[in-house]
Amino acid sequence: MAEVLVYVDHMDGAVRKPTLELLTLARRIGEPVAVAVGAGAENTASTLAEHGAARVLTHDASEYADYLVVPKVDALQAAYEAVSPAAVLVPSSAEGKEIAARLAVRIGSGIITDAVDLEAGDEGPVATQSVFAASYSTKSRVSKGTPVITVKPNSAPVEAAPAAGAVEALAVSFSAQATGTKVAARTPRESTGRPELTEAAIVVSGGRGVNGAGNFAIIEALADSLGAAVGASRAAVDAGWYPHTNQVGQTGKSVSPQLYIASGISGAIQHRAGMQTSKTIVAINKDSEAPIFDLVDYGVVGDLFEVVPQLTEEIKARKG
């Protein structure tokens, strides 16, 4: 069976969920071979094996931490040359897209970014993308070279599919460009204890209707009752009520969770662009004519200051 390379996003050996989703998709088109580099790479193997990786190619060197993406591109290219895969799958993070794009240029292949689904096709894998602020779905396949495809988080279920997960050392020689951009300093972000916005299965967002930084506490309380991440519209972050890193939309982050709850958000096209592929969308808005109601699965016409706290209490009560 053709092998499919899966680039592993991990933190000191803890594999991030989008990579496990990639393994689900990779199994549809071939046999997954995972590529894990950097500190703790070998520790990823058992998780990757549980989710279908037949082989896990690993390499560690200080270059991965000390320099920006190029050493990782060198490693992925080394794996590509060693395996001759049918496709290369990379998580659609900002870094993942840069790695994938650089690899595609180097190997002369076509690339598809931000796929939301992937299936086997007679002439290679067919990727679904959600375009024009998710008003259209397109299906495409790469027609030149080995398909390099980045996939958005939450596009596929995480499935247990035990496989060998044999760890093999990957031989990597770094290119001249590898040390071109050095990491000068790192400041750990203060942890909120909430899931990462782009990876979260549930996102609770607040907009201008939240009407103040302090009021975001009710959005956070709902998020915490569900184990969700907190998002915000641009109007809310521009007003200084919530950090820019939490902005959802065209010029913010793209999220595609199982459940997206929008409170006090009108549903402008630029906001929709970042959340319209969410599986189930719920909106709370006091204006029944708000455009957000055109795309919701469930809508509540009401004042968020009444609805959201009640919802939070009800969820807490049901969770016992």
296 binds ligand FAD (CB under 6 A): no
Q: Is 265 annotated as a binding residue?
A: yes
Quote the least distance from Cβ 198 to ligand FAD, whole Å: 13
Quote the least distance from Cβ 77 to ligand FAD, whole Å: 33
188-189-195-199 Cα dihedral, nearest 10 degrees: -80
Give strand pairing partners of 139.
Answer: 128
Q: Is 209 annotated as a binding residue?
A: no
Q: Which one of 100-108, 194-202, 212-220, 243-251 is the stretch in contact with ligand FAD (CB under 6 A)?
A: 243-251
256 binds ligand FAD (CB under 6 A): no
Alpha-carbon distance of 44 to 37, in angstroms, equals 10
Position 44: which residue type?
A: T
Q: Which one of 126-134, 139-147, 170-178, 302-310 is the stretch in contact with ligand FAD (CB under 6 A)?
A: 302-310
251 binds ligand FAD (CB under 6 A): yes
Contact 49, 162 (CB under 8 A): yes
Quote the least distance from Cβ 267 to ligand FAD, whole Å: 7
β-strand pairing of 55-59 with 166-169:
parallel
Quote the least distance from Cβ 248 to ligand FAD, whole Å: 6
Structure tokens at 8: 């592993």
Backbone angles phi, psi at 153, to 5 degrees: -60, 150
Q: Is 270 annotated as a binding residue?
A: yes
Sign of CA dihedral 245, 261, 200, 74: negative
Quote the least distance from Cβ 316 to ligand FAD, whole Å: 21
Alpha-carbon distance of 13 to 18, in angstroms, equals 14
305 binds ligand FAD (CB under 6 A): yes
234 binds ligand FAD (CB under 6 A): yes
Backbone angles phi, psi at 107, to 5 degrees: -100, 5
Q: Is 271 annotated as a binding residue?
A: yes
Alpha-carbon distance of 314 to 166, in angstroms, equals 47
- Tell me how far CA of residue 128 lies from CA of 135, 162, 269, in angstroms: 13, 27, 21
* Helix-then-strand count for the chain, H and E: 9, 16
Looking at the chain, how many residues does it have? 320
Quote the least distance from Cβ 231 to ligand FAD, whole Å: 9
Q: Is 292 annotated as a binding residue?
A: no
Task: Kindly identify the residues of this chain, within the stretch 265-284, that bind ligand FAD according to CB under 6 A.
Answer: 265-266, 268, 270-271, 274, 284
219 binds ligand FAD (CB under 6 A): no
- Binding residues for ligand FAD, rule: CB under 6 A, are 207-209, 233-236, 247-252, 264-266, 268, 270-271, 274, 284-287, 290, 303-305
| Binding site listing | 208, 233-234, 247-251, 264-271, 285
| Binding site listing for FAD | 208, 233-234, 247-251, 264-271, 285
